Chains A and B, each alone.
Chain A
């Protein structure tokens, strides 16, 4: 199946700094990418939807100025957590589609665990 890669897999940062997470589709063109966050023992929560070349659509309650999403190419989307605080510590997962647009099959990255000290 299609491969989606995330980097870094783990990141630890100090409170107040910004962290960038990359999501790449390795063998297909991802017209749409989705960003999720997941707290321990909870389900994935959709944060935003990004389409290549346009602004991301954020879910209710997600601060767009805090979670900056860029989808500048068909193979790369980035999530930047700005001025990170300990409550932003979470598991962030991206997913991408584009290969099978009519069946809802998504391909997920490996996830990125952010720890804010």
Chain B
């Protein structure tokens, strides 16, 4: 299972764009990259998933370079409610358990 490395924590002011980068140097050819958000005392919530290039949905964008050894989650104009822990994971099959790294604790300040 590909290991991931993320910054431990990040701070941001409301309204700013936040970019969280994740390294996954040994990602396999068939692995997808998925980002989850977790609030205290709640289960992780799916944010976005991608395989290569750029993916955008209503809450975030995911940038994946050609070598796929890293990925960047971009949160536009964060608000206080975006304060949470963000995890990046890589996996191929839905039947393969996702192993969580330490995640990035994002604190949004007013």
Contact = CB atoms under 8 A, between A and B. Distances in A.
Specify the main secondary structure of chain B where it touches its partner.
loop
Nearest to A51: B95
A19 B91 CA distance: 32
Given A1-B46, A32-B94, A43-B87, A104 B102 contact: no
A25 to B, nearest CB: 12
A113 interface: yes
B45 A103 contact: no
B44 A104 contact: no
Contacts, number: 77
A1 B34 CA distance: 15
Interface string B74-110: 0000000000000101111111111111110000000
A44 interface: yes
A101 B43 contact: no
Interface residues of A, number: 32
Given A111-B42, A113-B41, A43 B94 contact: no
26 contacts: A4-B43, A36-B100, A43-B101, A45-B100, A46-B100, A51-B95, A91-B41, A93-B43, A93-B44, A95-B44, A97-B94, A101-B93, A101-B95, A103-B34, A103-B94, A104-B91, A104-B92, A104-B96, A104-B98, A105-B46, A105-B49, A106-B98, A107-B46, A110-B42, A110-B43, A111-B43
Interface of A: 1, 4, 6, 31-32, 34, 36, 43-46, 49, 51, 91, 93, 95, 97-111, 113
